[in-house]
Amino acid sequence: MRLRNLKNNSELINNCNFLVKSPDEYKGKWKENFVNSENPIHLEIGMGKGKFIYEMAKKYPNINFIGLEKYDNVMARAIKKMPEMLPNLLLINTDALNIASIFDHEISTVYLNFSDPWPKKRHANRRLTSETFLAIYDHIFKDENIIIQKTDNILLFGYSLQSLSMYGYKFKEVTLDLANTDIPNVTTEYEEKFMNEGTKINYLYAIK
């Protein structure tokens, strides 16, 4: 279900000093936007209301984080929920298809949390673990390609395992029940809702 716009939607976005308004201008020099410029940069694609990326930035000050969200109304809600600016966190309001024009071999890890499963076969190339997107990620990763995915959708998870494997990724960790592992985990809003309902969370850590 699509969230309704906040009354001050545009104001929140336009006045946010940690949302990068013209991200393509920083291609190849994103590290300059952070106080600790030599720290690795991690990117969450589809950050939703921002709980995960904000808590990760607070928990890991030695990593720089960027949260990307396509929808203005979702981004506005995320900004509203973030109580303070963090020196290692920036936000981008754009479509994931644009990331190759925004980053040039600068990202160390990509997080895909509860992405749209696009269940219809004709929409498969829209899935964030499709070959279409895996090819795009090749242009943004700095050294090794690391993708961490969480989803409640077992069909998307199975698709991701196959797609990543065929593209040359190896799996460091895979589980169909993240809550019953000792894998360190910062939850998203969706994840907490699903876990309270008894839904198991699928998780993978893939590297290439």
Return the domain boundaries, the chain: 39-207
7 phi and psi, to 5 degrees? Answer: -65, -35
For domain 39-207, which CATH number applies: 3.90.25.10, 3.90.190.10, 3.40.640.10, 3.40.50.150?
3.40.50.150
| 116 a catalytic residue | yes
Residue 50 tokens, joined: 């921002």
pLDDT digits 0-9 by tens, 61-106 = 999 999 999 998 898 888 888 878 899 999 999 999 999 999 999 9
Of residues 95, 116, 138, 177, which has the active-site annotation?
Answer: 116
Single pTM value for the model: 0.93
Element (H, E) at 67: strand 64-69
- The pLDDT value given to residue 39: 96
- CA distances to 115, 147, 159, 200 from 129, rounded to whole Å, are 9, 9, 8, 20
Element (H, E) at 11: helix 9-14
Where the chain has pLDDT below 70, the residues are 1-7
